Structure 1
Amino acid sequence: MGEPRVVFVDSDNHTLSTIPAILQAQPWECALFDNAIEALEYLQQNAVELIATGFSLPQVDGMELLCRTEACSPETIRVALAADSDRNQLLEGLGSGVVQRYITKPCSEIELISVVRQSVDLCLLRCRYAELAQTLAHDLRLPLQSIGAAVLLANVQLRDDDPRYGELKRYLETILTSASDVQKIIGAVEAQVI
């Protein structure tokens, strides 16, 4: 994996021009757009850890851009670049969950770097968690299948005339039930990741 990608979208040229200067020493690949259409095209072609957008954009506004980002790239952290006049839209976005973080405009260097760093770290951490959960689920399935096969073979070998038949049958059923419970837990972990 290369450098984390961060995308900034704003129709205000001053805001867009200050961002690269602030972030130049940071370990992120930074893409800048003055409209949502180009930003969406970029998102469709690239994995992006963070998108930050102003609300007032031509054609597609910032809120719609964040909604579309959530739909096509749910792992991307969505940040609003909010001016004082954007208060109502910001509150609406935060309330709906479309906006996950915000940066006030004009952007201060400390706030911009802090929010981007925390957001990128969170995105990378979530991706790592998803990878580990998938690996764990995969690694647990094979032993569970072996347990199921062993129980099946034991059931075939078990004879009705064995004096411990009932007791052994219950043990095998308990093993199978427990394996099934672990399988459900694996499914729940995978569902949380998705």
Structure 2
Amino acid sequence: MNEEIKTKISILYVDDEENNLRSFKATFRRIYDVHTAISGDEGLKILSENPIQVIITDQRMPEMTGIEFLSKVLEKDREPMRMLLTGYSDINAVIDSINKGQVYRYLTKPWNEDELRSAIESAYEVYSLRKENKELLKKLEIANDQLEFLLRQRLLS
């Protein structure tokens, strides 16, 4: 039997509240590969050691806000999809998250499981399409180089 093995989406959830981390992990661990971090620094360490496709971070954390964390993520790796989660409806945080952290989606606390799952699935779809487009672009560049080489050979002969 040749069954296609579907890999789990790898998610990093960063929040300074231990209860939120436990709740997130308990809710999503069966369907996703969940990594949790209690601070931005711990999140950066996890990112350096694991391939992560979707990042969800709380905005209001001591030492490093969610936006600051996502800005640091962008310096190291632009590929993971980034989402900001906060219990405060602060329009300045929303604007900063879009401008500085290049956030894919802004969600409010307390999160709704179905809404969050839908956002994760949507973010992963965009992540996958971007990755596929990069690979296709590389193949196209190689094919273009080969075609150019063949045309030059023809012109020279």
| TM-score category (smaller protein) | 0.7 to 0.9
Matched-pair contact (CA < 8 Å) for 2:14–2:39? yes
Q: Percent identity?
A: 24
> Which AA in structure 2 matches 1:136?
L
Distance in 1, matches of 2:68 and 2:101, equals 13
> Which AA in structure 2 matches 1:16?
L
- Find 1:19's aligned residue among 21, 24, 37: 24
How many pairs align?
152
Distance in 1, matches of 2:7 and 2:117, equals 19
Deviation of the 1:30 alpha carbon: 0.7
Tell me the TM-score normalised to structure 2 length. Answer: 0.87
> Which AA in structure 2 matches 1:14?
N
Give the corresponding residue for 2:138: 134
Give the corresponding residue for 1:93: 97
Residues 48-100 of structure 1: CA deviation (Å, up to 9, x unaligned): 11111111223222111100111211111110012125442123212446222
Distance in 1, matches of 2:7 and 2:39, equals 25
Distance in 2, matches of 1:85 and 1:104, equals 7
Q: Can you give the 5+ residue segments of structure 2 that lack an aligned partner in the other structure? A: 1-5
Q: Does 2:66 match 1:62?
A: yes
> Which AA in structure 1 matches 2:42?
E
Tell me the TM-score normalised to structure 1 length. Answer: 0.71
Q: Which has the larger radius of gyration?
A: 1
Give the corresponding residue for 1:44: 48
> Which AA in structure 1 matches 2:29?
Q
Distance in 1, matches of 2:26 and 2:12, equals 15
Give the corresponding residue for 1:148: 152
For the aligned residue pairs, the C-alpha RMSD in angstroms reads 1.9
Give the corresponding residue for 2:109: 105
> 3-state DSSP class of the match of 2:85?
strand
Q: Which has the higher helix share?
A: 1
Q: Which has the higher strand share?
A: 2
Distance in 1, matches of 2:34 and 2:29, equals 9
- Find 1:6's aligned residue among 11, 17, 21: 11
Displacement over 3 Å in runs of 4+: none
Matched-pair contact (CA < 8 Å) for 1:55–1:86? no
Q: Can you give the 5+ residue segments of structure 1 that lack an aligned partner in the other structure? A: 154-194
Distance in 2, matches of 1:87 and 1:30, equals 29
